[in-house]
Amino acid sequence: MIIKINSENQNERLDKFLTTQLKISRSKIQKLIKHGKITLNGEKVTPHFFLRVDDKININAKDIKVENISKELKPNKKVKYKIVFEDDNVLVIDKPSGLLVHPTDKIENDTLVNGLIAYYPELKKIGEDPTRPGIVHRLDKDVSGLMLVCKTQKALEYFKKQFQDRKIKKIYTALVHSPMERSEGIIDLPLERSKTKGKMLVKSKEQGGKEAITKYTVIKQFQNFALLEVQIETGRTHQIRTHFNFINHPIVGDKLYQQKKVKANIELDRPFLHSTKLGFKNLDGKYLDFESKLPLKLSKILKQIK
């Protein structure tokens, strides 16, 4: 498929233009551009490239499924989650482990987003990505705890900037293998998505890694573990899990980033990682602070170890 640019579309960003033309999510468009599945004049470019008259966009039809994803997003009242706070602009959700935040390319119908639009259908209009309406940040599927959802476009734009400016307080509780060498520390290591599906790797910025900063404080040391309070300044995919695995303190129960040399007599079918505290200045200028207790399954683990 070839799309030729005329004067009406010049100076538009490539990813934004294709999102309108192909009616699929911008995140998917960006992914295809980055992987060279969509090229401009036969060359690989960046998603934010500004178009010129007579440019030719080349699209491999086999690699792109042209569909209106927003029509695929189905409400699902069976999805369970807890609302901690709500006003006209935002929701604060306490997400259970095992719940995917939004559909992937497989278009799952049992995600948090499916549950939200069952009661808040107006969310479908919020944001640029039809698969992530109202979503301004995420938690991994098997990670539980507090997260923010935006109910209006104004809130989405406001909090997007708050996250970019690192003004949102995000604190997690984590149990890691082996006692920590220091009572507190900062892990400043860039991350990049691995070619192995679903994993992240520590890579230098020269290798394409993006800045990722994780701070931690030891809450309690055990014989073979450490309970930590973890604060992230950046929000990279799997950031906490990747960082602690890299420094040889993988998260307990994390099957994706587990290390063969680490052995522990703990049966846990999820990572011991919980979004415990969330704080932010709301649109009205009032600062809000929320806290979530550890799920029972994780609390029981703490009682088992010495």
Do 209 and 297 fall into the same domain? Answer: yes
Do 133 and 205 fall into the same domain? Answer: no
Contact 210, 236 (CB under 8 A): yes
Cα–Cα dist 161/147, whole Å: 16
Q: How far is CA 170 from CA 43, 94, 188, in A?
A: 40, 13, 17
Among 114, 142, 164, residue at a domain's last position: 164
Do 160 and 173 fall into the same domain? Answer: no
pLDDT at 196: 67
Among 113, 135, 164, residue at a domain's last position: 164
Do 181 and 296 fall into the same domain? Answer: yes
What CATH number is given to the structural domain containing 142? 3.30.2350.10
Partner residues linked to 229 by β-bridges: 173, 217
Active site residues: 140
Q: Tens digit of pLDDT per residue, the chain (306 long)?
A: 788 888 878 888 898 888 877 767 778 888 888 888 899 998 889 988 899 998 999 887 655 654 445 456 899 999 999 999 999 999 999 999 999 999 886 778 899 999 999 999 999 889 877 788 999 999 999 999 999 999 999 999 999 999 999 999 999 999 999 999 999 999 999 999 887 667 899 998 888 889 999 999 999 999 999 999 999 999 899 999 999 999 999 999 999 998 777 766 788 999 999 999 999 999 999 999 999 999 999 999 999 997
Do 220 and 292 fall into the same domain? Answer: yes
Do 274 and 300 fall into the same domain? Answer: yes
As given in the structure block, the two tokens for residue 16 are 């934004």
Do 153 and 271 fall into the same domain? Answer: no
CB atoms within 10 A of CB 25: 21
Cα–Cα dist 274/269, whole Å: 14
Please write down the HEC assignment for all residues of 248-262.
Answer: CCCECCCCCCCCCCC
Cα–Cα dist 183/194, whole Å: 31
Do 215 and 292 fall into the same domain? Answer: yes
Do 181 and 146 fall into the same domain? Answer: no
Do 145 and 76 fall into the same domain? Answer: yes
Burial of 153 (0-12, 13-18, 19+ CB in 10 A): middle
Host domain of residue 43: 2-63
Total tally of structural domains belonging to the chain:
3
What DSSP element (H or E) covers 146? strand 144-150
Q: How far is CA 118 from CA 73, 197, 295, in A?
A: 10, 31, 25
Among 20, 37, 63, residue at a domain's last position: 63
Q: Which of 132, 246, 242, 131 minimizes the C-alpha distance to 193?
A: 242
Do 298 and 179 fall into the same domain? Answer: yes
